[in-house]
Amino acid sequence: MSPRRPVWPWYGGTAALILLDQISKILVRQRFDLHESLSLLGGDLVRLTYVLNPGIAFGLRLPGPILLLIFGWLAAGILTVYLYTLVRRGDALRWPVMLFLAGAIGNSIDRALYGAVTDFLDVDFPDVIMERWPVFNAADSCVTIGIIWMIALLLFHRREVAPASLSPSTIGEPSDRSFGTRPGTHPVPNDDRPGPATGTD
């Protein structure tokens, strides 16, 4: 039996991501006026722009702020239990689910305390579909990275599972299914010794 994997590092990692998200939002609310913008890189390539988003990620809107709040905390509860299950069985999906959980809790805290989510990362976008990418935050980034990571895992590496044939309990043990014999039986060795002579003189 494989040792049980500890769960606390994964919840600790989730808490660290939530803390990073909340500290960044606090700093923006303290140092910026609403809709104030500051250029960081390449002129308008990357800016800090303080906006409040009453909808979901990347400025998308859904009716009913109370419904969004309930949905966010419900999703966080489900992801918390799911992360526990994934960690215990060593599933590689624990990585993106940890990111989903951090993103869900980070934005749900904003909705519960302020009625809207604080967004501030403002990035330019090729002028094909939109002029600029919708303003987002660290929690949104966790969700986006988690989606990309999950798709990659589902396509290329679904689960981290050690081959059963290499487990310590099976190394060196003979297989009951070798030589086409039934389980629990052993093949009879072929006796090539000559039998007694039956011919006449």
Q: Which residues are part of the catalytic machinery?
A: 119, 140
Shortest CA distance to 10 belongs to which of 71, 92, 73? 92
Strands 37-41 and 46-53 come out as antiparallel
Shortest CA distance to 58 belongs to which of 119, 129, 123? 119
Largest distance between two CA atoms of the chain: 120
What DSSP element (H or E) covers 73? helix 65-88
Q: How big is the chain by its Cα radius of gyration, in Å? A: 29
